[in-house]
Amino acid sequence: MRRDPDTRGYFGEFGGRYVPETLVEPVEELERAYFAVREDAAFATELNRLLKHYVGRPTPVYEATRLAAEAGGARIFLKREDLTHTGAHKINNALGQALLAARMGKRRIVAETGAGQHGVASATACALLGLECHVYMGAEDMDRQALNVFRMRLLGAEVHRVDAGSRTLKDAINEAMRDWVTNVAGTYYLLGSVLGPHPYPLMVREFQSVIGREARAQFLELAGRLPTAIVACVGGGSNAMGIFDAFIEDRGVRLIGVEAGGEQIIRGRHAARFAGGSAGVLQGTRTFILQDDDGNIELTHSISAGLDYAAVGPEHAWLRALGRAEYAHVSDAEALDAFQRLARLEGILPALESAHAIAYASRLARELGPSATLLVNLSGRGDKDVQSVEKAIAKER
Amino acid sequence: MSRLAETFRRIKAEGRPGLVTYTTAGDPDLARSAAILEALDRAGADVLEVGVPFSDPLADGPVIQRAAERALAAGSSLRAALALIGQVRPKISAPVVLFSYANPLLRMGLDVFAAESARAGVDGVLALDLPIEEAGGFRDTLAARGVDTIFLLSPTTTEARIRKAAELGSGFLYGISRLGVTGARDRVASGAADLVRRIRAHTSLPIALGFGISRPEHVAEVGVYADAAVVGSALVSVIAEAGTAPDLVDRVEQYVRWLRGAAEGRTQHAHA
């Protein structure tokens, strides 16, 4: 299987470069710069040095025996991206792209953020490299992730409140792109997931693929074989692509992405693109999106800000079309329950995003029985979610 | 000769800058949007751009974003925009260019869209986030129905891509006078003349210049080097400010007559 998109940035019929004219040349400039550093040993050495000494890689793979015992079935292993510096996998990509920006001579960084994890990672990378950082964040997300907003400001970033549309991640991306199109010469757009125009979906996957490379070797060492299935949550889908990537050629390993089922799979109350969506173009790429009959983007809902988005990365759409990856969804209530179970049974607070993967893995563990092994990407830690979880639990009672 | 080609030929013959107006279909509602299009035609707008409201207008500034929100709230859509154009077409003489983001067009399906556009009397289509590289099949499908494909060119567009746009585009080429999103400004961007000169080197197609134009003197200034000036956000602001006022349509008509005043004043076409 070919792992790169074609020269126009397509993974099969998904991907491409649907941008306003002003951004065509900047995106091509980015592609040239990225392909140059991709072959550059000095760049890799510098990035690897930071990943090891600054981020704290490799992150461990940990067998969650008490979680598995309660689920009653398969063994469950967690790839601990929550233990990275800043507390989520987002830092892998943010550092890679910030290094690239610096190399391109762009000193002003714009980024979008949903849950705030990519914003914090970008602000961190910019502080480290002495770059100016502007983060766009939906007003609703700023309210539910207030702690991360304050973290970004402490790190020297300017956080811009976005009041348009649904006031969440999608609207933050629109605003970040408007900034980029206006200040294009000296500005680098540090996109946080495997979304947007080519080369972003490829580049972000490559910067995240360190997760799968580590996890595959670690799992083989721990379990003496490959896992039955990999489970990861999918918003845009960068943590999932990051861990799937190393296992694509291992045909016996099931790759399972978990989307946000929200309250229910009815219009506007979820973010499960593969359950309620269809092919379309949003924010630079052709992929599965949630849209109405007129081609307008539907509102989404998820308890987790990081999964609350109307489009999925184009490579996921392709892997699904090929039958190489499967996609499921988990409701707000199941994710909330998994959040509490992992805390109680393993002493780990997962991000609400990652709690979706935990919830699905627990379900799957029962289904597959004790001979199976599951590797779950625990993409981030849940400290940022403590307040919204408290509210949600109070509401449930 | 297409209606767009004929219009630009006439503008040139009259030795004046052309005026292209942008309004969003269904802003503030579909009935008044129809009345506005008729008023624009009466007031002497040479080409009417009609925007399809979209939920995520990432190339637009706040003024046109708000217009899209008003239009969507009033029930507008691509289908409604096509019906609107079909309804006013017999009453106006100016050519109509549909201005849209890609997704509504793709959702309808390009074949159906091209057929419906031709039937409604749409003269040209500009898809904002469908750059030349993605627009090949789109352009051919429209061309088969006699509808022009208008391409945008920006200060960041390379010579090679200007050549491609000149080759594939028809009707006219649309130059963006400056970087950024749509929005009115106090003066025309300094690089505008240079962009038009760069485009002119590769094509005999008419060139309209937009982004940031709001006053008669801007239209006159742009007319020195381009065939037409596009007024968008400033006109949409007039609509927004009038709101539900009974003289909304009159205000729009007066504004466009004021803009056209400068155009009438010129007798010598700079590159004629």
Residue A121 and residue A296: Cα distance in Å, rounded? 31
Q: Does A39 contact chain B (CB < 8 Å)?
A: no
Closest-CA residue of B relative to A280 is: B103
Instruction: Give the mutation candidate from B55, B138, B199 for the A interface (greatest A CB count, under 10 A).
Output: B55
| Chain B residues with a Cβ under 8 Å from any Cβ in chain A | 54-59, 61, 65, 72, 77-79, 101-108, 128-131, 133-134, 151-158, 161, 176, 179-181
The one-letter amino acid code at B16 reads R
Are A25 and B134 an interchain contact pair (Cβ–Cβ within 8 Å)?
no
pLDDT band at B263 (very low <50, low <70, confident <90, very high): low
Does the annotation count B49 as an active-site position? yes
What pLDDT, in 10s, does the model give residues A324-347? 999 999 999 999 999 999 999 999
Q: Which of A330, A372, A357, A385 is nearest to A80 (CA)?
A: A357
Are B103 and A181 an interchain contact pair (Cβ–Cβ within 8 Å)?
no
Nearest to B59 among A16, A20, A295 (CB): A20
> Mean pLDDT throughout A300-328?
96
Q: Does A108 contact chain B (CB < 8 Å)?
A: no
Min distance B256 CA to chain A CA atoms (Å)? 28
Asked if the model's pLDDT at residue B91 lies above 90, the reply is yes
- The pLDDT, as a whole number, for residue B272 is 33
> Mean pLDDT throughout B170-194?
87
Q: Which of B111, B112, B154 is nearest to B132 (CA)?
A: B154
The complex scores an ipTM of: 0.94
Are A281 and B179 an interchain contact pair (Cβ–Cβ within 8 Å)?
no
Residue B47 and residue B235: Cα distance in Å, rounded? 14
What pLDDT, in 10s, does the model give residues A51-95? 999 999 999 999 999 999 999 999 999 999 999 999 999 999 999
Strand pairing category for B96-100 and B124-127 = parallel
> Mean pLDDT throughout A310-314?
98
Query: Given strand B152-153, what is the order of strands in its sheet?
Result: B148-149, B124-127, B96-100, B47-51, B18-24, B228-231, B207-210, B173-176, B152-153
B-chain residues near A171 (CB < 8 A): 56
HSE (side-chain half, CA atoms, 13 Å) at A229: 28
pTM of the model: 0.96
Asked if the model's pLDDT at residue B271 lies above 70, the reply is no
- The pLDDT, as a whole number, for residue A270 is 96
Asked if the model's pLDDT at residue A8 lies above 80, the reply is yes
Tokens representing A344 are: 């109680």
Count contacts between A and B (CB, < 8 Å): 110
Instruction: Give the mutation candidate from A21, A166, A195 for the B interface (greatest B CB count, under 10 A).
Output: A21
Does the annotation count B247 as an active-site position? no
User: Helix or strand or coil: residue B126?
Assistant: strand
> Mean pLDDT throughout A374-378?
98
Q: Which of A122, A362, A379, A388 is catalytic?
A: A379
The phi, psi pair for A169, rounded to 5°, reads -55, -45
Asked if the model's pLDDT at residue B105 lies above 60, the reply is yes
- The pLDDT, as a whole number, for residue B186 is 80
Q: Which region among A239-248, B173-182, B196-205 has the lowest average model confidence (pLDDT)?
A: B173-182
Angle (CA) B99 B104 B110, round 5°: 90
Residue B139 and residue B114: Cα distance in Å, rounded? 10
- The pLDDT, as a whole number, for residue B37 is 98
Which domains are seen in chain B, by residue range? Answer: 3-260 (3.20.20.70)
- The pLDDT, as a whole number, for residue B262 is 61
Asked if the model's pLDDT at residue A26 lies above 90, the reply is yes
Tokens representing B19 are: 């005026």
Q: Does A19 contact chain B (CB < 8 Å)?
A: yes
Are A24 and B161 an interchain contact pair (Cβ–Cβ within 8 Å)?
yes
Question: Each residue of B73-100: b (16+ CB within 10 Å) or e?
Answer: ebebbbebbbbbbbbbbeebebbbbbbb
Percent of chain A with pLDDT over 70: 99
What pLDDT, in 10s, does the model give residues B220-242? 999 999 999 999 999 999 999 99
Asked if the model's pLDDT at residue A2 lies above 80, the reply is no
pLDDT band at A313 (very low <50, low <70, confident <90, very high): very high
Round the average pLDDT of chain B to a whole number and report it: 93
Residue B196 and residue B88: Cα distance in Å, rounded? 32
DSSP single-letter state for residue A13: T
Q: Does A24 contact chain B (CB < 8 Å)?
A: yes
pLDDT band at B266 (very low <50, low <70, confident <90, very high): very low
pLDDT band at B261 (very low <50, low <70, confident <90, very high): confident
Measure Cα distances from B164 to B150, B153, B154, B196, B202 in Å: 12, 11, 14, 16, 9
Residue B74 and residue B63: Cα distance in Å, rounded? 17
pLDDT band at B136 (very low <50, low <70, confident <90, very high): confident
What pLDDT, in 10s, does the model give residues A226-283? 999 999 999 999 999 999 999 999 999 999 999 999 999 999 999 999 999 999 999 9
B56 neighbors B228 (Cβ within 8 angstroms): no
Residue A138 and residue A165: Cα distance in Å, rounded? 9
Closest-CA residue of B relative to A177 is: B58
Q: Does A93 contact chain B (CB < 8 Å)?
A: no
- The pLDDT, as a whole number, for residue B267 is 41
Asked if the model's pLDDT at residue A1 lies above 60, the reply is no
- Give A309 or B187, the one with higher predicted confidence: A309
Nearest to B55 among A165, A178, A284 (CB): A165
- Give B45 or B181, the one with higher predicted confidence: B45
